Structure 1
Amino acid sequence: MDQKPCILLESFIEFLKIEKNYSEYTIEQYQKDIEAFFMFMNEQGIKNVKDVEYFDARLFLTKLHEMEYARASVARKISSLRSFFKYLNRESILAENPFSMVSQPKSSVRLPKFFYEEEMEKLFEASSEHANLGERNRAILELLYATGIRVSECAGIQMKDLDFHLSTLLVRGKGNKERFVLFGSFAHEAIERYINNSRGKLMGNEDHAHLFVNARGKPLKPVGFRYILNQIIDKASLTNKIHPHMLRHTFATHLLNHGADLRTVQELLGHEHLSSTQVYTHVTKEHLKKTYMAHHPRA
């Protein structure tokens, strides 16, 4: 029996939530990409996913290029649709996957942006206020730089996840995978100061176990972290706007610059594949090249 595309999409979303344990953000991206293809199906007069053929998949790819989508965006949309139709194959709704043979455009390698050590010092100076929010902000900056954790991971930290005796933190990453990360003395002191002096005052009558809270005492959300970090950037008079992931990139780059091996950095970042970590070797090589060209007398 034929099923409407929207019902199949709902089933696929449930699969991503329950079996794949994907984050809300990732699921939203899948949903947007697949809904965009459903609109294309309507334009082409295709009423049922069973009628989608390889030609239609190629035509959709052509349309994305005509609309001048970035290569990375096109690649993501094709990947989303390939996964969706693969799921329909698995559920015996379709016999073939029309997107299985569609080649994705090769994405240009973008080197991660990071802060130099002098820039990090300026950020720490700019976050050295002793007011309640100032102590919270300093603790956030110290922890993100000390551990390289994602902002989404930082937002999920509970009080019980911290072990001050061992200076370790239990982190729940992508796919709800857990890992322990280390943090140094600067982050240790900043977090303890925030907990002892400021967190309780900010909490007020709120009752929850999240480590970082907003001005009303509620759990701080990822968008709040971005706002805080941009405030610190403005105060430090640095020209570039910060993306929270820049601190993660900075963490990895500085470790490699100071002699850490790639496998250790991979484990600390929680990367499943070493290839995800290897991009930072290009960053460090670029840094070495710039330093050489700037300082060698016969460069």
Structure 2
Amino acid sequence: MTSDDGWALEALAEFERHLRADRGVSPHTLRAYMGDLNDLCRYADDVGVQGPSELDIGVLRGWLAQQHAKGRARATLARRTAAARAFTHHLYRRGLMAKDPGPLLGTPKQVRDLPAVLAQDEAGRLLDGTDPDGPLGLRDRAVLEVLYGTGVRVSELCGLDIDDLDMGRLTARVLGKGGRERTVPIGEPAVRAVQDWLRVGRPVLANDESGPALFLGARGGRLHPTSARRIVHNRIAEVGEVPDLSPHGLRHSAATHLLEGGADLRSVQEILGHASLQTTQLYTHVSAERLKQVHRQAHPRGSD
């Protein structure tokens, strides 16, 4: 942006403070929204917008049309629409716009791809039969067991403290998106793996930087999500003949296997920490697709 668009710099800085303090959005969402809105304000400056009151529906639609012409994905366009709506609503509430143009924006219909998931036997091969080598091996096994056994996000896993696990009740206290806390069940295999890590592995790596963190990096600090992703990819590579998934793929797998095992949708929603049941319903489609695949492969009349 140029030196003449001080209104935008000030508005963006104030909106970022609002997202941090009042809405408690995740760091990922914050970066995405602010990147989107910086792009919007650059476009607004290019078309001669002099202040918030001139950020009307025509400007917003022109910006989104430009994004579409650049080949942005539907999901990206939907997020940028949401960011623009949130921004103009905030400006309107602060009295900087006479009317909020955001509600006039249509949302691009998203075509959601079904997430890749492991079959139950593939999950078994990934988790079973490992012979942990040293403290990092014990940690890696515990990380995999907790990711799959609870369905937590990788950021939630790395944020766990030792006291967040109740070994007796087989539960974990998780701090999720928007600062929402929830309690999730954790199976006995995961508990055993964590106990082995805490008893034998963690004391070897722990130092003054460790604090209460449950999982530690090689240098003793709290495990970083990037390292957790590397753990998953490396283990999948060792097993072979298993789809290469991220930690989020283990979360998808856990949710799908819960539903396949008879769990109701509301319970899965609560375990995963989804704010909307619509998000959780995606996994019913995954299960249905898997059933159709089994039918095609196994039934005499399943395919031509």
Q: Name 2:187's counterpart in structure 1.
A: 184
Looking at structure 2, the residues matched to 216 and 236 of structure 1 have their Cα atoms a distance apart, in angstroms, of 26
User: Which of 210, 214, 237 is the matching residue for 1:211?
Assistant: 214
Deviation of the 1:203 alpha carbon: 1.4
CA distance in 1 between counterparts of 2:12 and 2:295 reads: 53
Encode CA deviations 1:246-268: one digit per residue, 9 max, x unaligned.
11111110011111111111111
For 1:92, the equivalent position in structure 2 comes to 95
8 Å Cα contact 2:77/2:108 also seen in 1: yes
Which segments of 5 or more consecutive residues in structure 2 lack a partner in the other structure? none
Secondary structure in structure 2 of the residue aligned to 1:180: strand
Counterparts of 1:207 and 1:154 in 2: how far apart (Å)? Answer: 15
1:19 maps onto 2:22 in alignment: yes
- Given that 2:210 and 2:222 are in contact with CA atoms closer than 8 Å, whether structure 1 keeps it comes out as no
Instruction: Report which stretch shifted further, 67-76 or 221-230.
Output: 221-230
Listed as ranges, the matches of 1:57-72 within 5 Å are 57-72=60-75
1:135 aligns with 2:131: no
2:51 aligned residue: 48
Question: 2: distance between equivalents of 1:90 and 1:127?
Answer: 56
Structure 2 matches for 1:140-159, cutoff 5 A? 140-159=143-162
Task: Deviation per CA, 1:151-194: give whole Å up to 9, x if none.
Answer: 11111101111111111110011111111111111001000000
The alignment's TM-score, normalised by the length of structure 1, stands at: 0.95
In the alignment, the residues of structure 1 paired with residue 210 and residue 144 of structure 2 have an alpha-carbon distance, to the nearest angstrom, of 24
Distance (Å, rounded) in 1 between the aligned partners of 2:102 and 2:266: 35
The reply on whether 1:295 has 2:298 as its aligned counterpart is yes
Whether 1:271 aligns to 2:274 is yes
Partner of 2:199: 196
After superposition, residues 94-173 of structure 1 pair within 5 angstroms as 94-125=97-128, 127-173=130-176
Q: Partners in 1 of 2:192 and 2:96 — Cα distance?
A: 57
Distance 1:26 1:14 in 2: 13
- Judge conservation of contact 2:118–2:243 (CA < 8 Å) in 1: no
Residue 200 of structure 1 and its aligned partner are, at CA, apart by 1.0
- For residue 248 of structure 1, the aligned residue among 246, 251, 255 is 251
Change (3 A) 1:53 1:171: same
Q: Unaligned regions of 5+ residues in structure 1, if any?
A: none
Q: What letter is aligned with 1:108?
A: V
Q: Structure 1, residues 110-150: CA drift from partner, whole Å, max 9, x if none?
A: 21221111211221247432311111000000011111111
Amino acid at match of 2:189: F
Q: How does 1:223-234 map to 2 (within 5 A)?
A: 223-234=226-237
CA RMSD of aligned residues (A): 1.5
Identity %: 36
Residue 102 of structure 2 aligns to a residue in which SS? coil
* Matches of 1:58 and 1:264, distance apart in 2: 40
What is the deviation of 1:47? 2.9
CA 1:111–1:35 in structure 2 vs 1: closer, same or farther (change >3 Å)?
same
Counterpart code for 1:252: A
CA distance in 2 between counterparts of 1:45 and 1:216 reads 52
CA distance in 1, matches of 2:205, 2:125: 26
Query: d(CA) in 1 for partners of 2:206 and 2:234?
Result: 22
2:182 match: secondary structure? strand
Q: Of the candidates 240, 250, 254, which is equivalent to residue 237 of structure 1? A: 240
For the Cα contact (< 8 Å) 1:127–1:232, is it kept in 2? Answer: no
> 8 Å contact 1:126–1:236 — kept in the other structure?
no
Q: Is the 8 A contact 2:173 2:184 kept in 1?
A: yes
Could you list the per-position Cα deviations for residues 73-113 of structure 1 after superposition, in whole angstroms to 9, with x for gaps in the alignment?
A: 01101110110010011111111223321212100022122
Aligned equivalents of 1:272 and 1:219: distance in 2? 27
d(CA) in 2 for partners of 1:255, 1:56: 46
Structure 1 residues 207 and 281, CA gap change in structure 2 (3 angstroms) = closer
Alignment TM-score, normalising by the size of structure 2: 0.94
Structure 2 counterpart of 1:91, one-letter code: R
Deviations 1:18-45 (A, max 9, x none): 1111111111111000001111112212
